[in-house]
Amino acid sequence: FKPPANDSPRSAMSEAAEAKRPPPVKLLSGQLRTAQRRGPADGEDGFVIRPATGRSLPVSLVWMQGTVVEVRPERNSVMLVDETGTFAVQGVHNVPRGKPCLSQGKYVMVMGVITAVSPEPVIHAVKMADLSELSGVHRRMWKLEVEELQRLLT
């Protein structure tokens, strides 16, 4: 069974925008902190980072991992820390099955859209997952995963 398509122009436009959006880029918070905004002159919206390769890498949707250091229910956000610094994640109450991630000390992955890079990186969550069960493995591998993906993309 396939549900009926939503034929509204707004729905078609958002589907087209999502289809054009590149896959998420794995980042460390320190890299996000040094990102630069792309503008109309670049022909696209979003940000640019310069990974170890020195080449520009456009990003808008990111995949980050870190430990929850502060839960801010009144702000619908959490503060996370990875090995390069802290970053804020907003919209956490709107993420399906994200509630298990909202405890201090949990090691989580967050996929989201960049909303700010300075003074503190901020992403708006689209997806969250609790990685605490095997956090030792995830933590050790994370920086290597980030470096490998960025090397492939640049």
- Assigned token pair, 33: 């902190």
Task: Please give the Cα distance from 67 to 130 (Å, whole number).
Answer: 10
Residue 98: predicted pLDDT: 78
Residue 54: predicted pLDDT: 75
pTM of the prediction?
0.79
Residues 88-124 pLDDT 10s = 999 999 998 778 889 999 999 999 999 999 889 999 9
pLDDT for residue 130 is more than 70? yes
- Assigned token pair, 45: 């919206």
Q: CB neighbours (10 Å) of residue 136?
A: 9
Residue 21: pLDDT band (50, 70, 90) is low
- The pLDDT of 133-142, averaged and rounded, is 83
The single-letter code of the amino acid at 66 is G
Q: How far is CA 95 from CA 88, 90, 99, 126, in A?
A: 15, 10, 8, 6
pLDDT for residue 11 is more than 50? no
124 within 8 A of 112, measured Cβ to Cβ: yes
Task: Please give the Cα distance from 58 to 64 (Å, whole number).
Answer: 16
What the chain holds in terms of domains, given with CATH numbers, is: 24-153 (2.40.50.140)
Q: Sheet containing 36-37: which strands, arranged edge to edge? A: 36-37, 47-49, 57-59
Coil/strand/helix, residue 45: coil
Residues 55-93 pLDDT 10s = 888 888 999 999 999 999 999 999 999 999 999 999 999
Residue 67: predicted pLDDT: 96
72 within 8 A of 44, measured Cβ to Cβ: no
